[in-house]
């Protein structure tokens, strides 16, 4: 029947992390403290990503792809300051960053990643 599918923190609408075989897919993650600026929200999201990567048997050195949505693309450098301090510079993922209307006015950043496991 193939590899089992593992779902973590499933809500009925989505799972925060889905593992299948050697791959780990994270949902788009947002900050919990929406009073933070772009840097603060990015920092919180990257901490969440670390948590879900570990939960799925991976880490930031095994990132394959990242999609980043910014409410305001003029905050690109602020987001990148946090990203650059966090990402493994020897093993960066393929990445896209775009400006988008997010779920609410206070959401400034959303990040979704795919990683290899094992």
Residues above pLDDT 70, as percent of the chain:
99
Q: Which tens digit of pLDDT belongs to each residue from 66-105?
A: 999 999 999 999 999 999 999 999 999 999 999 999 999 9
Listing DSSP states for the chain in one string gives ----EEEEEE-SS-EEEEEETTEEEE--B--S-TTS-HHHHHHHHHHHHHHHHHHTT--GGGEEEEEEEES-GGGHHHHHHHHHHHS-TTSPPEEEEEE---SSTT--EEEEEEEE--
pLDDT value at position 2? 81
Mean pLDDT, the chain, integer: 97
Q: What is the CATH number of domain 5-116?
A: 3.30.1330.40
Give me the residue spans of the domains in the chain.
5-116
Residues above pLDDT 90, as percent of the chain:
97
């Amino acid at each position: 029947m193939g590899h089992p599918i593992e779902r973590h923190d499933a809500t009925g609408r989505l799972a925060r992390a889905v593992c299948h075989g050697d791959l780990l897919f994270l949902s788009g993650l947002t900050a919990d403290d929406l009073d933070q600026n772009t840097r603060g929200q990015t920092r919180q999201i990257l901490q969440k990503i670390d948590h879900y990567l570990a939960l799925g048997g991976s880490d930031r050195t095994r990132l394959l792809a990242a999609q980043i949505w910014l409410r305001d693309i003029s905050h690109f450098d602020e987001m990148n300051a946090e990203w650059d301090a966090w990402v493994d510079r020897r093993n960066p993922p393929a990445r896209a960053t775009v400006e988008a209307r997010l779920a609410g006015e206070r959401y400034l950043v959303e990040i979704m990643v795919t990683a290899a496991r094992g």
